[in-house]
């Protein structure tokens, strides 16, 4: 699949105008002998999508939000995600949409036996069992773009499940890693959007400040690699150079490292299990790094990690409730309707009220998702 051939492999890119989307387009442009964007979607940014369409001439473009300026030839509405993901020219789908909105397209692509290069971790948090079962049943491939999971995939290469003792996910700790609890309580939107090591979309940047992102990633790792929750741990690593560790049953530990650029895991998700030459990041210089340090998570000051992992362990609808309540609470924090601590308060209240909802089927999970959104909206006020 990854050797340059006569016809490059077609790639559908969902969320093309976002942070991962634009990194993915840089990778695809450098690797144009191997891959070609054939479908692009965006939520609302008509101008950015129009520029990408002019540049890459995909067979399909789609915009989710209604917009008079969108060309008549574009797909429109939420269904454009599934249309792009199932486009006949696309063999690989990069899902770089933010939030549970990415779930139907992931499922549709897997049902057609495609590879999904998954940045949209919320897909696995909302419906992990259903997504992995859909991939298995239809021969679809789920390959992570998230840097921690790409690291684990690389460390696991060729190993059997019984050889793995523990997964150790690294976390940067976010902008409030060294802040005392009283100061965290006063954190503003601008404070929370200042991520120390990664440039990302606003939702995941806030999730990194609360550590909700690491909870989503523990759940993601559980589903991707089939490792039980009591064998997945988190360590704070402020430099974001080691992207995760795998400890094996003989006591050996493998780590994957590299400069913090999402272009590396995006490319690996496209070419896995192969590697291809690329020049996307500067050469690795260990001396220039200075040092790599590690710290324990301050669970009391960052309750979202424990809440999310607890929801993962509880299973059923709990992870979907955690995710949906968090999505709404983060949006409310970003538009000034909730203070920083309010995010964890809202998510905790939603879990108490709704985590016991049934969560076996997709319909049940989507009902739990809606109930959690409605509850937080009602609490915070429109």
Q: Which one of 27, 40, 64, 209 is in contact with ligand NAD (CB under 6 A)?
A: 64
CB of 282 to ligand NAD, least distance (A): 18
Binding to Mg ion in span 18-47, by CB under 5 A: none
Q: Are strands 164-171 and 141-144 parallel, antiparallel or unpaired?
A: unpaired
- Per rule CB under 5 A, is residue 146 in the interface with Mg ion? yes
- HSE, side-chain direction, 13 A CA sphere, residue 319: 28
DSSP one-letter code for 295: B
Query: Residue 64 binds which entry of Mg ion, ligand NAD, none, with Cβ cut-offs from 5 to 8 Å by kind?
Result: ligand NAD
The whole-angstrom separation of Cα 61 and Cα 46 is: 11
In order, the DSSP letters of 185-237 are TT--HHHHT--SS----HHHHHHHHHTHHHHHHHHHHHHHH---GGGEEEEE-
Select 218 or 320, whichever has its Cβ closest to Mg ion: 218
- Between residues 77 and 358, which has the closer beta carbon with respect to ligand NAD? 77
Under the criterion CB under 6 A, does residue 217 sit at the interface with ligand NAD? no
Binding to ligand NAD in span 287-346, by CB under 6 A? none
Footprint of ligand NAD on residues 11-50 (CB under 6 A)? 15-21, 42-43, 45
What are residue 258's phi and psi, to 5 degrees? Answer: 170, 165
Cβ atoms of residues 207 and 121 within 8 Å: no
Question: Any residues with CB less than 8 A from the CB of 246 and at least 6 apart, and which?
Answer: 152, 155, 156, 159, 164, 166, 167, 168, 253, 254
Q: Choose the contact partner of 122 out of ligand NAD, Mg ion, none; CB within 5 to 8 A by kind.
A: ligand NAD
Considering only the stretches 116-124, 171-179, 243-251, 314-322, report the one whose residues sit in contact with ligand NAD under the rule CB under 6 A: 116-124
Please identify which residue in 34, 87, 114, 121 interacts with ligand NAD, judged by CB under 6 A: 121
When asked if residue 96 is in the footprint of ligand NAD (CB under 6 A), the reply is yes
- Please choose which of Mg ion, ligand NAD, none residue 198 contacts, taking the beta carbon within 5 to 8 angstroms, the exact cut-off set by kind: ligand NAD
Contacts of 73 (CB under 8 A, 6+ apart): 61
114, 92 Cβ separation under 8 angstroms:
yes
Residues 169-208, mask of contacts with ligand NAD (x by CB under 6 A): -----------------------------x-xx-xx----
Give backbone dihedrals phi and psi of 56, rounded to 5 degrees, phi first.
Answer: -110, -10
- Tell whether the torsion through CA atoms of 222, 224, 225 and 226 is positive or negative: positive
Q: Residues in the site for Mg ion, rule: CB under 5 A?
A: 146-148
Q: Residues in the site for ligand NAD, rule: CB under 6 A?
A: 15-21, 42-43, 45, 64, 81, 96-99, 101, 119-122, 146, 198, 200-201, 203-204, 262
């Amino acid at each position: 699949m990854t050797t340059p051939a006569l016809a490059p492999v077609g790639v559908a890119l969902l969320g093309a105008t976002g942070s991962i989307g634009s990194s993915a387009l840089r990778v695809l442009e450098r690797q144009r002998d191997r891959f070609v964007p054939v479908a692009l979607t965006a939520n609302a940014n008509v101008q950015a999508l129009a520029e990408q369409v002019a540049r890459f001439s995909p067979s399909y473009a789609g915009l989710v939000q209604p917009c008079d300026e969108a060309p008549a030839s574009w797909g429109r509405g939420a269904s454009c995600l599934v249309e792009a993901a199932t486009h006949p020219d696309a063999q690989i789908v990069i899902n770089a949409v933010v939030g549970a909105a990415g779930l139907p397209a992931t499922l549709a692509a897997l049902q057609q036996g495609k590879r999904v290069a998954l940045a949209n971790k919320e897909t696995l948090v909302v419906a992990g069992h259903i997504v992995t079962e859909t991939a298995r049943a239809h021969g679809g491939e789920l390959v992570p773009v998230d840097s921690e999971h790409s690291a684990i995939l690389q460390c696991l290469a060729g190993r059997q499940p019984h050889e793995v003792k523990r997964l150790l996910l690294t976390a940067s700790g976010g902008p409030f890693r060294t802040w005392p609890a009283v100061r965290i309580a006063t954190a503003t939107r601008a404070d929370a959007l200042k991520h120390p090591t990664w440039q990302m979309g606003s939702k995941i940047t806030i999730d990194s400040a609360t550590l909700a992102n690491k909870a989503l990633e523990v759940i993601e790792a559980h589903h991707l690699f089939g490792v039980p929750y009591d064998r997945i741990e988190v360590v704070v690593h402020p430099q974001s150079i080691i992207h995760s560790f795998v400890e094996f049953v003989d006591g050996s530990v493998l780590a994957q490292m590299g400069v913090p650029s999402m272009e590396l895991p995006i490319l690996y998700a496209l070419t896995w299990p192969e590697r291809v030459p690329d020049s996307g990041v500067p050469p690795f210089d260990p001396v220039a790094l200075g040092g790599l340090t590690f710290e324990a998570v301050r669970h009391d000051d960052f309750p979202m990690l424990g809440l999310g992992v607890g929801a993962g362990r509880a299973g059923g609808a709990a992870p979907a409730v955690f995710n949906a309540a968090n999505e709404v609470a983060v949006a409310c924090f970003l538009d000034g309707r909730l203070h920083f601590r309010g995010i964890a308060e809202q998510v905790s209240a939603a879990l108490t009220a709704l985590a016991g909802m049934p969560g076996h089927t997709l319909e049940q999970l989507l009902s739990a998702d809606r109930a959690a959104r409605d509850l937080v909206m009602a609490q915070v006020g429109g």
